[in-house]
Structure 1
Amino acid sequence: MAVKVLILEDNPVARGFLCRVVRESFSDVSSITEAGDLEAVRRLLGHSAGQRAPVTADPFQLILVDLELPDGSGLELLSELSAYPATRIVTTLYSDDEHLFPALQHGADGYLLKEDRFEVLVEELQKIVRGQPPLSPAIARRLLTHFRSGDGQPMGNHHAAPAAPAAPAVPMDHERLTPRESEVLTYLSKGFTIKEIASLMGIKWFTVNDHIKSIYKKLNVSSRAEAAVLASKQGLV
C-alpha cells in the first residue's frame, strides 16, 4: 500500500509548496489530503477536540502540522495523535524555544521550517527513510546547543528548576517485541537502512518506521545505537 499524507496548513500557498516538497521527497505517495484548520482535520480523522484520533484500517502514514491555526494550535492535534501510527512533523515559521520544545514534548517526530529552501526540505523529509529525525538545520543546531549546555532546560530559561536525574534505562526484554519487531531490530543492529530493511522484509518503509518507533518505546531507547547495544547484550545480533 502506498503512502498517504495529510497536510494541516491554513495558508493555501504554503500548502501547495508543502505538497510539492512531499511529492519530490517520496516516490510512493498515493495521496495528499489538505486541511486548513483543526476542525477539518478532526472530521477527516473521525474524532472531536480533546479526544484521541482513532486508528482506522487505512491510516495516514505522514502528517505535517502547522502550529498557528485559525481555530487553535497544532499542539492540540499532536496530543490527539499520541496513539496514531503516523510520523508527525511540525512545519512552521517559528524557530524559537517557545515553539520548538513544546512541539517535541507533544509528540512531534520532526520540526521543519517552511522558510528553508525547497531542496533542504526535501532532503530533510527523506531522512525519514534513513531512520533519522527530519530537522531543519537551524533547529538541529539549536537542539545541539541546548543539550550541550548541560542544564536540562531550553536555552534562555535559566531560572527554571534543575532537571530531575534521568530514570535508569529499562532492561531489554525482547519477549515484549513482536517477531516482526525483533527482525527489524536485528537488521537495524547490522546497519541496514530503513529502505533496505523494507526491501529485505517485503514491506513498505513507512511500516518499518512504525516498527522502529514501537521498538524504541518498548525498550526505552531513543536511537539506533542504543537499540543496537541492547540487542547485542541480549544476543539478538
Structure 2
Amino acid sequence: MTVKVLIIEDNPVARSFLCRVVRESFSDAMEITEVGDLENARRQVAKFGGANGDVGFKLILVDLELPDGNGMEFLTEINGSTAIKIVTTLYSDDDHLFPALQCGADGYLLKEDRFEVLVEELQRIVRGQPPLSPAIARRLLSHFRPSSSDSGTMPLNSGFGALSTSQAAFANSRSVALDPPPEWERLTPRESEVLTYLSKGFTIKEIANLMGIKWFTVNDHIKSIYKKLNVSSRAEAAVLASKQGLV
C-alpha cells in the first residue's frame, strides 16, 4: 500500500530536500504531494480527505512561515486528524516550538540539520518515538527540568503521539485511574492486540511485522487507543492493559 505524504514548504530547494529526506527515511512506497502555500494544502486535504478525521495523508510536513499565513493555522485545522504532523522550520525558539506542539504537531524538526540527522529523526516514528531535532529535544529537556526535579525523570520517552496533547505532557505525566474508563469496552479486537504488544515493549515497526500490517496503520491504532482510554503515553496505556490482564 502506498503511503501518501504532504509537504508544505514555499522554498523549492527546501521542498526538494525534504522530499529526499522522506524517501530515504522509509522503505514503504511513497506518494509525495508538494505544495507551497496554505491554500493549496487545504485544497489537497479537501480533495483526498474523508470522514472520521481522515485528511487523505498519513504524513504531513509543514513549514511555519508560508506566503499566505502561518503553518500553525493549518495544524489547528487538522488537529483531530489521524495524520502524523511534523513541523519543519528554521525556528528553534520557545515562541514557535510550544505553540506548534499545542496546535497538534507530533514532531518538530529543524531544516538546518544535516540530511542524515533528519532521516534518523523521522525514522524514530517507526520506533514509537516523537521526531525531534537534537536541539529541540535539549530545549524541551532544559525547559521542563525544574518542574520534573522532584521525580528525577522526564516524560520524553512516552512514545509517539504524546506530543499531540500539549506542552504540559512534557512537564507532568497524568496519573492513571485505578479503574479502567468506560471507553475500554470500545477497543476493537485489533486495537486490543496492538495494546498488548505495545505494553510488552514492542516498537511500532515490530508490531507491524507481527500483525502483518503497515506501521502507519499501527500508529493509527495507537492514536485511537490513546483517545479511547484517555491517556497520552505508552506507560499509561500499559498500566490499564495490565489491570485488564492483557500483559
Calculate the TM-score normalised by the size of structure 2. Answer: 0.83
Note the alpha carbon deviations across 1:139-174, whole angstroms, 9 max, x for none: 1111111221219xxxxxxxxxxxxx9875455342
Q: Secondary structure at the match of 2:145?
A: helix
* 1:197 Cα deviation after fit: 0.9
Match of residue 5 from structure 2 = 5
Question: Could you tell me whether the CA contact under 8 Å between 1:89 and 1:111 is conserved in 2?
Answer: yes
- Paired with 2:7 and 2:55, the residues of 1 have a C-alpha distance of 16
Alignment of 1:27-46 (within 5 A): 27-46=27-46
Q: Secondary structure at the match of 1:4?
A: strand
- Mapping of 1:66-145 within 5 angstroms? 66-145=63-142
Q: Which residue of 2 aligns with 1:161?
A: none
Q: CA deviation at 1:29?
A: 3.1
Q: How far is the alpha carbon of 1:221 from its aligned partner?
A: 2.3
1:45 CA displacement: 1.0
Greater shift in the superposed pair: 165-174 or 87-96: 165-174
1:209 equivalent in alignment to 2:202: no
Matched, 1:231 2:241: yes
Alignment partner for residue 218 of structure 1, among 228, 233, 236? 228
Q: CA deviation at 1:196?
A: 1.4
CA–CA separation in structure 2 for the residues paired with 1:223 and 1:167: 9
Letter in 2 for 1:139: I
| Contact 1:5/1:62, CA 8 A, preserved across alignment | yes
The Cα of 1:220 is off from its aligned counterpart by 2.5
Q: Is the 8 A contact 1:169 1:220 kept in 2?
A: no
Q: Who is 1:19 aligned against? A: 19
Amino acid at match of 1:143: L
**Which residues of 2 match residues 195-206 of structure 1 at below 5 A?**
195-206=205-216
CA distance in 2 between partners of 1:179 and 1:81 (Å): 27
C-alpha separation in 2, matches of 1:64 and 1:54: 19
Q: Cα deviation per residue 1:33-77 (whole Å; 9 max; x = unaligned)?
A: 000000001111118xxxxx6548882100001000010000011
Cα distance in 1 between the residues matched to 2:241 and 2:132 = 27
| TM superposition outliers: structure 1 runs of 4+ over 6 Å | none
Match 1:176 to one of 180, 186, 191: 186
Higher share of residues assigned helix: 2
Alignment check: 8 A CA contact 2:9 2:63 kept: yes
Give the C-alpha shift of residue 231 in structure 1: 1.0
Write out per-residue CA displacement over residues 157-192 of structure 1, whole angstroms, 9 at most, x where no aligned residue: xxxxxxxx9875455342131211111000111121
Q: Which moved more, 1:219-228 or 1:113-122?
A: 219-228
Aligned mates of 1:137, 1:58 — CA distance in 2: 29
Summarize the Cα distance change of 1:147–1:28 in structure 2 as closer, same or farther, 3 Å threshold: same
| Unpaired segments ≥5 residues, structure 2 | 149-171
Question: What is the root-mean-square deviation in Å for CA atoms of aligned residues?
Answer: 2.1
- How many residues align? The count is 219
Q: Quick check: 1:95–1:139 contact (8 Å CA) kept in 2?
A: yes
CA distance in 1 between counterparts of 2:105 and 2:29 reads 21
User: Against the structure 1 CA distance between its residues 167 and 74, is the aligned structure 2 distance closer, same or farther, given a 3 Å change threshold?
Assistant: same
